Amino acid sequence: MASEKVPMLEAKIERWPIEGRFTISRGAKTEAVVVVAEVRHGEVTGRGECVPYHRYGETPEATLSAIVGMKDAFVRGLDRQALQSAMPPSAARNALDCALLDLEAKRSGERIWDLLGCPAPLPRVTTYTISLGSPETMAAAAGKAAYRPLLKIKLGGQGDEARIAAVRRAAPDCELIVDANEAWTEANLEANLAACAHAGVTLVEQPLPAGHDAALARIKRPVAVCADESVHDRASLNGLRDRYDAVNIKLDKTGGLTEALAMADAAIAQGFDIMVGCMVATSLAMAPAMLIAQQARFVDLDGPLLLARDRDCGLRYDDTLVYPPDAALWG
């Protein structure tokens, strides 16, 4: 009878092929490796998906172990609120937090936004990502996607001025976001920002390495700059306002939707614009982030569009619009 009274926890690693190849400044990959947590209470199962990120010292195996290691705590009655202090912000906590939220919704028969007191989410325009490559390759990819209103361009440091110009020529009417993934240096920062301004780029994401970004406070920024690797949760917002205009909220960094919602409120109160971002993953990882998307100036939830296939009951993508999840998927 114990399994009917307390959640039972399981987790697994899944691999989802990427359509082609996804390349950023730190390397390329052909599959998305995700970890799925499942919390069962009687006949009801809640699910959450995360993407362990090597940049933060995470691996799928260690993340799986961290999730499974919480089994005894769940048997003792650990709930979502206690989870926030029981685990550090991480991909592992994200999967558990979202699984518990999904379980709450399914057990109540209500949608999770109603339980959390949030407005019902509406469809939002999402970015579509152009992988890092030569200017010619990126221009060709941007040209094929030029019907989309918002493109996110992956950059890599040397040669980025040419990449930015080539993409703009291929997609003259698109709003552009560029993501350097920490690949710029103080030596080329101002030249690259000027190239972005000349091309009409709206936002530059994480141009300098986290912890080595003080130069952003010393220069006049001609384009808005967004923190990604430099910001994780509410605690990391302090001290960023002089360097960044926006923050990228990703559930794998915040350790789940619970902290992400609180972080969004705190960031807005401090004057930041919000971007909600993702790793390459299935719709199960994107679904909780749709609640953050309602407050975001920039929505970057195109992970499933980069896969060869998505999971069943995945999010609906209508060209540029991404729709809230059906209950069959999450929440």
Question: 220 an active-site residue?
Answer: no
Which of 29, 144, 220, 250 does the annotation list as catalytic? 250
According to the 3-state scheme, what is the secondary structure of the chain? Answer: CHHHHCCEEEEEEEEEEEEEEEEECCEEEEEEEEEEEEEEECCEEEEEEECCCHHHCCCHHHHHHHHHCCHHHHHCCCCHHHHHHHCCCCHHHHHHHHHHHHHHHHHHCCCHHHHHCCCCCCCEECCEEECCCCHHHHHHHHHHCCCCCEEEEECCCCCHHHHHHHHHHHCCCCEEEEECCCCCCHHHHHHHHHHHHHCCCCEEECCCCCCCCHHHHCCCCCCEEEECCCCCCHHHHCCCCCCCCEEEECHHHHCCHHHHHHHHHHHHHCCCEEEECCCCCCHHHHCCHHHHHCCCCEECCCHHHHECCCCCCCCCEECCEECCCCCCCCC
154 is catalytic: yes
Catalytically annotated residue among 5, 12, 71, 154: 154
Q: Catalytic positions, please?
A: 154, 250
